[in-house]
Amino acid sequence: MISPFILIAVFIVSTVLGYVIIRNVPSLLHTPLMSGMNALSGVTIVGAISTTGISLLSGGGWLSQVAGMIAIALAAVNVFGGFGVTHRMLMMFHKSKNRSPEGQNSASREV
């Protein structure tokens, strides 16, 4: 078991890092970023998997298995759905970027 102090230290360090990194995000990307972050919060799937797995292997009751399975499923929806949606959104930004030169050309031609 890791010492609580290390866990708290890790929490604080990562909090500060996260804070620093997000400071300069253009609002253009707020939605994709939030949605990506949201997908990341499904990281709790890691906890759900280990808890459920260990519980089963050490002969835990069926109630904990049901709860664990629900936790895994919920977190999996969060992770897969979150990253999928974010990817879709970002691809739209990408698409419009690639198209811009064409659009500008056609506009200037018609002028």
Partner 1 sequence: MTTFQILLSSLLALLVLAGISMMSRVKTAVVGNLLSAFALLVGIVATLLSRQVFSAWTIWPALIVGAWIGSLMARKVKMIQMPQTVALFNGLGGGASALVGLLSVAGVGFSTQQSASFADGSSDVFVRVAALLAVAIGLITLVGSLVAAGKLHRLLPQKPVVWPFHSLFTLLFLLLTVVLIVGSACCSPASFGGIGGRMLIIGIVVCSSCFGLWFALRVGGADMPITISLLNSLSGVAGAIAGMAIGDIFLVAVGGIVGASGLLLTQIMCRAMNRSLVSILTGGGRRKNSIKEPKLSEEMLETEGMTKETEQELINRIMDLEKKIKELEEMVRSLEERVQSLNQQVDALPAASALKEEKEEETPSAAGVLSRAKDVIIVPGYGMALAQAQYQVRQLADKLESRGARVRFAIHPVAGRMPGHMNVLLAEVDIDYEKLFEMEAINDDFAKTDVVLVVGANDVMNPAARNAEGTPIYGMPVLNVDAAPEVIICNYDLKPGYAGVENPLYSREKGVYLELGDAKETLQKLMSEMA
Q: Which of residues 18-77 bind partner 1 (CB under 8 A)?
A: 18-19, 21-58, 60-61, 64-65, 67-77
Task: For residue 90, give the nearest of 40, 36, 41 by alpha carbon.
Answer: 36
Binding to partner 1 in span 80-99, by CB under 8 A: 80-97, 99
Least distance between partner 1 and beta carbon 58 (Å): 7
- Residue 105 interacts with partner 1 (CB under 8 A)? no
Please give the structure tokens belonging to residue 82. 């979150």
- In whole angstroms, the minimum distance from the beta carbon of 56 to partner 1 comes to 4
What's the Cα-to-Cα distance from 65 to each of 18, 60, 78, 86, 91, rounded to whole Å?
34, 7, 20, 31, 38
